[in-house]
Amino acid sequence: MYCKIWGVRGSLPVPGASTLRYGGNTTCIEVNGHDDECIILDAGTGIFPLGQHLVRTEIKKIHLFITHTHWDHIQGFTMFQPLFSDDVEIHIYGPKDPTSGLTIKDHLTNQMDRHFFPVQLQNVAARLIFEDVSGGDRIQINSLIVKTFEFNHTAINIGYRIDSENRSIIFTGDHEWKLNPHSSDDPRFSNMEQSMRAIRQETINFIKGVDLLIIDSAYTEEEYLTRHGWGHGTLDSSITAAREACAKQVLFTHHDPSRTDDELDKVFRESLERNAINSKDPEFALAKEGMEIKL
């Protein structure tokens, strides 16, 4: 498999001189298999340059997997150039909201309502095929198998594991490791702790042994003190989980938009030092636009 990073920021794009090294586009990842499969994970603003690249290739079938429909994960979709090519077929997968009942098609249609965008989804030239997904699904795309898992976030968020014959990639989308909201002397503490441990173990089992883990690591531990429940992880929590799951290579992503490249380097370096990273640990790196990984 081949993986290329097209967008790494969370919340909103941040172009400018201070973000050139790691990139200012929001989440988008491309994965290709050896049988010409084209899988895209999320449609943040990074999907715009990816789309410009794809229309110059022979690729005519695209599989787009959306983790969830917060703006930073779909805001580039309207400008995805293959949408406007009549010889392209795009399969679009994403979760159905359990409360509102809105499907991934509903969300993307609403985003392209005439009040927000001049071209409506039903008028694009490409052939679109929608499929709702939930945790535990298994989707075969030629030589690749995509497995789904519901990671904890403020909206329903489906992470994806892509397996080839002997290599694997996981993208969590946005994810926060749950904390027990009750104090240890609260009678509810024990039951909640047991439930949370079970959820954590399920999550670790899904990640177990993955070759490349791309994980939401938006905050430092200090920042997280005031951001519980916002739906994002920390560098330290990602390191702990990757060690526990015996992941081989880890990319931290969903970089905070307020952080410059130099500040990213600083918090990353400090997290490695604080966690005493050694040669037996996974290989850790910050996700960077243009980064290419061959597995």
3-state secondary structure of 43: coil
Q: Within 13 Å of residue 243, how many CA atoms lie on the same side as its CB?
A: 14
Give 3-62 pLDDT, tens digit per residue.
Answer: 999 999 999 999 999 999 999 999 999 999 999 899 999 999 999 999 999 999 999 999
Cα distances (Å, whole numbers) of residue 40 to 3, 128, 197, 285:
10, 15, 32, 21
Is the pLDDT reported for residue 183 higher than 90?
no
User: What pLDDT shows up at residue 50?
Assistant: 98
User: What pLDDT shows up at residue 224?
Assistant: 94
User: What pLDDT shows up at residue 187?
Assistant: 83
In Å, the largest CA–CA distance within the chain is 63
Phi-psi region of 242 (alpha: psi -120 to 50; beta: other; left: phi over 0): alpha
User: What pLDDT shows up at residue 195?
Assistant: 86
Is the pLDDT reported for residue 180 higher than 80?
no
Angle in degrees, 0-180, between the axes of helices 235-245 and 189-207, rounded to the nearest 10: 70
Q: Within 13 Å of residue 88, how many CA atoms lie on the same side as its CB?
A: 23
Is the pLDDT reported for residue 192 higher than 90?
no
Domain count for the chain, please give it.
1
Domain residue limits at 49: 2-294
Give the CATH number, domain containing residue 140. Answer: 3.60.15.10
Overall average pLDDT of the 125-154 stretch: 97
More confident residue, 211 or 182: 211
Identify which of 172, 81, 69, 70 has the alpha carbon closest to the alpha carbon of residue 130.
69
> Percent of the chain having pLDDT more than 70?
100
Is the pLDDT reported for residue 193 higher than 90?
no
Is the pLDDT reported for residue 261 higher than 90?
yes
* Rounded CA separation 210/250 (Å): 9
Give 113-125 pLDDT, tens digit per residue.
Answer: 999 999 999 999 9
Cα distances (Å, whole numbers) of residue 123 to 26, 47, 75, 88, 127:
26, 20, 18, 14, 10
Overall average pLDDT of the 263-267 stretch: 98
User: What pLDDT shows up at residue 191?
Assistant: 85
> Mean pLDDT of all residues in the chain?
96
What's the pTM? 0.96
User: What pLDDT shows up at residue 188?
Assistant: 83
Give 201-253 pLDDT, tens digit per residue.
Answer: 999 999 999 999 999 999 999 999 999 999 999 999 999 999 999 999 999 99
User: What pLDDT shows up at residue 174?
Assistant: 98
- Give the β-pairing of 89-95 and 61-65: parallel
Is the pLDDT reported for residue 165 higher than 90?
no
Q: How confident is the model at residue 179 (pLDDT cuts 50, 70, 90)?
A: confident
Q: How confident is the model at residue 182 (pLDDT cuts 50, 70, 90)?
A: confident
